[in-house]
Amino acid sequence: MLGLRDFLDSIFYVKPQAFTGSLREFIFKELKSKSELADDLDTAKEISTARGDWVLRVEEDGWAGLLKYVAGVDYDQSLILWHIATELLYNQDPSTDSSSKDKENRDNSKLLSDYMLLLDIMSGSISQRCRPGLDP
């Protein structure tokens, strides 16, 4: 139907969000910290292809045990896994002692997760993988 379904989906299911200074700073800080860790070509390649498992290695909260669930999966699967994890953590009650910066980081993480999933869905790559054997 000449993209009519995609157009209607974007009207009904997509809610515009402002690109705030807070979000810009959040993204820039993450990119900068990763670039500072990449002191050689091999490390830079590892960071750029990590698909989220990098955060499990550098966090000190004992999350390294979760690596087995995200290592070796293709991009779409890792995106869905991280989106589910972000949803679960975002919807937990934040601790009473969390700062406004923590809340801002939670909101930014949720917004980026939603956006990445939307891009993947709108590109059709997830819907194509969800219909194995049905493509002409």
pLDDT higher than 50, residue 131: no
Mean predicted lDDT score pLDDT of the chain: 77
pLDDT higher than 50, residue 18: yes
Nearest to 109 by CA among 130, 92, 126: 92
Q: Which tokens go with 119?
A: 């891009």
Compute the distance between CA of residue 25 and CA of residue 23 in angstroms, rounded to an integer: 5
Give the tens place of pLDDT for each residue, 21-79: 999 999 999 889 888 888 888 888 877 777 666 666 666 666 667 777 777 788 888 88
Nearest to 106 by CA among 117, 95, 116: 95
Count of helices and strands (H, E) across the chain = 8, 0
Q: Please, what sign has the CA dihedral across residues 71, 125, 132, 136?
A: negative
What percentage of residues in the chain have a pLDDT greater than 70? Answer: 76
